[in-house]
Chains A and B, each alone.
Chain A
């Protein structure tokens, strides 16, 4: 381990901080993924079923939802962080710290993920939906047994894309007091010119990304026939 201390003089003494930062990043990612995942799937499904040619087509509802999603997608994340700070304080009592940063992460991720879900489900052959309707399936039945089941492989791949971009976002909230590996890389590594800390943070983030990619690929392959 001598080379480690030699080339990473600062990082080698910060193991516990790295462990904590990694935990924080994973915590933010996990909680956001679960909540934004569920809400994103619900909104994505609503967009598909109420959209043009959908099984519960509703022009007005679709138009409004579609515009809201577009609006939130257009807000740069770093500005979103600032704009919703009061809202964050209302919900979690504070606007700084790891838990507080989950609120903007969720709001920043949902619109992006809703579109990913919508795209995945629109890729499901409309013929299958028509066949299910013809067999007397209910709308709920069609959502779960056709759209989500047949769209699952694509949905998993798209979810991986969302998760990876979510990790970028966690790095960004780090810089405004959210903690995690992003915080370490910028606040310690960059601001104090301890480049080795930045490098180690980056390596840890890359490991998380690769792990997600690997698990996602395995899951997608499992879901495919």
Chain B
């Protein structure tokens, strides 16, 4: 059984005149050791969904179980104990401003004896690489450092699960990568299950093994990262993937180029060892079709190479159908692009 299981979860917020359905009929299974990404634009309901997992938010209906235990209706001490098993880090870090770094990390350890507390704080700060910041205040740290402190604090209760709620969204790209690397390390060394909430495909792409795509409170797609990346089933997933490989922006750049008017443009997506075979040369040798590359990109998703190639071809239909046959035969998925539309 999965470590975290959500069944038909709904969360409604009652406003004065109307009801907002923040989460609609979401069912998800997150296995132990997963780094499970939940991606969506703001307002998609992903943060609310994350809060359902640690029961900061009670679902309106549906069931939530963590570690074989149903937590939907827990309250009081049982709920607090359950929350200790689930750490969470936030976009705004939420560190206590009047406490030093060591005191912040020690916050959950209030009932431990002092020497044990000190040892734990030392261990946690070492884990996130901030041993030398014990006695400074959060204000004196950079965003990335504050997030590391927040991670150390979230781990103080020895949780099995860590929820990262847009934890890297306020950070610059380089710091984002270093935080993601830290999360990956914690996932591997502590067997920590991580739920990564974000609106950035780049973050998901770097460390997640599974991903759920959310839109308007619903999970519209959930699968392994590789499948979503290579065969996105919904337009929303596709646009997240395209954004992360900068496909869209490159279309926008070439859209007004007169030389491309009335040409056929194909977008090819290919996975694994297919990336190493020379497609362009093949096309020329077999069919004498000269194509030129407009855009190319290779990503490594879970150590599997995933290629994207956009090529321009002669306009005649005969050669186009030949090429399509060839690509289907090679197992490469393709997509004919209408630049005028893509550039919008």
- What's the Cα separation between A189 and B128 when bound, in Å? 69
B240 to chain A minimum Cβ distance, whole angstroms, is 27
| Partner among B80, B95, B98 whose Cβ is within 8 Å of the Cβ of A223 | B98
List which B3-46 residues lie within 8 A (CB) of chain A: none
- What's the Cα separation between A161 and B105 when bound, in Å? 34
Question: Are A145 and B97 in contact, with the CB atoms below 8 A?
Answer: no
| Partner among B87, B96, B157 whose Cβ is within 8 Å of the Cβ of A128 | B96
Given contacts A136-B81, A141-B110, contact A127 B98 (CB under 8 A): no
Question: Are B157 and A135 in contact, with the CB atoms below 8 A?
Answer: yes
List which A76-119 residues lie within 8 A (CB) of chain B: none
The proximity string for B residues 71-94 relative to A, scoring 1 for CB distances below 8 Å and 0 otherwise, is 000000000110110111010101
Tell me which residues across on chain B come within 8 A of A138, comparing CB atoms.
Answer: 80
List which B156-173 residues lie within 8 A (CB) of chain A: 156-157
| Partner among A128, A130, A135 whose Cβ is within 8 Å of the Cβ of B108 | A135
Q: Which of A135, A146, A153 has the most CB of B within 10 A?
A: A135
Question: Are B83 and A132 in contact, with the CB atoms below 8 A?
Answer: no
Any chain A CB within 8 A of the CB of B153? yes
Question: Are B157 and A136 in contact, with the CB atoms below 8 A?
Answer: yes
B115 to chain A minimum Cβ distance, whole angstroms, is 21
Tell me which residues across on chain A come within 8 A of B100, comparing CB atoms.
Answer: 225
Tell me which residues across on chain B come within 8 A of A223, comparing CB atoms.
Answer: 98
List which A209-225 residues lie within 8 A (CB) of chain B: 223-225
Question: Are A130 and B98 in contact, with the CB atoms below 8 A?
Answer: no
Any chain A CB within 8 A of the CB of B187? no
Tell me which residues across on chain A come within 8 A of B96, comparing CB atoms.
Answer: 128, 146, 149-150
| Partner among B94, B137, B153 whose Cβ is within 8 Å of the Cβ of A225 | B137
Any chain B CB within 8 A of the CB of A64? no
List which B34-75 residues lie within 8 A (CB) of chain A: 54, 56
Any chain A CB within 8 A of the CB of B139? yes
Tell me which residues across on chain B come within 8 A of A125, comparing CB atoms.
Answer: 92, 94, 97
Any chain B CB within 8 A of the CB of A137? yes
Interface size class, chain B: 20 to 34
Any chain B CB within 8 A of the CB of A134? yes
Any chain B CB within 8 A of the CB of A133? yes
Tell me which residues across on chain A come within 8 A of B156, comparing CB atoms.
Answer: 135
Any chain B CB within 8 A of the CB of A152? yes
CB-CB nearest in chain B for A126: B94
Any chain B CB within 8 A of the CB of A131? yes
The proximity string for A residues 144-188 relative to B, scoring 1 for CB distances below 8 Å and 0 otherwise, is 011001101100000000000000000000000000000000000
Any chain A CB within 8 A of the CB of B107? yes
CB-CB nearest in chain B for A151: B98
Question: Are B84 and A136 in contact, with the CB atoms below 8 A?
Answer: yes
List which B125-158 residues lie within 8 A (CB) of chain A: 137-139, 150, 153-154, 156-157
Q: A128-B95, A131-B150, A137-B107 are in contact. List 16 more A-B contacts (CB 8 A).
A: A127-B94, A130-B56, A131-B90, A131-B94, A133-B56, A133-B83, A134-B56, A134-B86, A135-B84, A136-B81, A136-B83, A136-B157, A138-B80, A149-B99, A152-B98, A225-B138
10 closest Cβ contacts across the A-B interface?
A127-B94, A131-B94, A225-B137, A136-B80, A136-B84, A135-B108, A136-B83, A134-B88, A225-B98, A127-B92
Q: Which residues of A contact B (CB under 8 A)?
A: 125, 127-128, 130-138, 141, 145-146, 149-150, 152-153, 223-225
13 contacts between A and B (CB under 8 A): A127-B90, A128-B95, A128-B97, A135-B83, A135-B154, A137-B108, A141-B110, A145-B110, A149-B98, A150-B97, A152-B98, A225-B100, A225-B139
